[in-house]
Amino acid sequence: MTVSNDNTGTARRDGTERRTSQHLREIFEQAYRVAYPLLDTTESTNRNGSAHFLRVILHDAFPNLHLQDVAILSVSIERVFRERGKTETL
């Protein structure tokens, strides 16, 4: 049996969606724009407290999200920010 290591695809071989938080995917870019100023001004050596502030900002911007969803969204945004780099313009 072979196992696919392709993490870039969104669907399984049987056609079902592998991601379960579609509502977070729908608001991700908007949330990224809300979070970008905080991430862009935080020095890479001083990121310890930024995770908390990022969650506060996201919770304020999306008050209907469950706290677990805010946590998932904040981790995803931080990861994408690191991947995209600071040179990106919105």
pLDDT tens, position by position, 39-80: 887 554 455 678 899 999 999 999 999 999 999 999 999 999
Identify the pLDDT of residue 17: 62
Question: What spatial distance separates the first Cα and last Cα of the chain, rounded to whole Å?
Answer: 44
pLDDT, tens digit, for every residue of 2-46? 334 444 455 667 766 666 789 999 999 999 999 999 888 755 445
Identify the pLDDT of residue 41: 78
Phi/psi region, residue 38 (left: phi>0; alpha: psi -120 to 50; beta: rest), is alpha
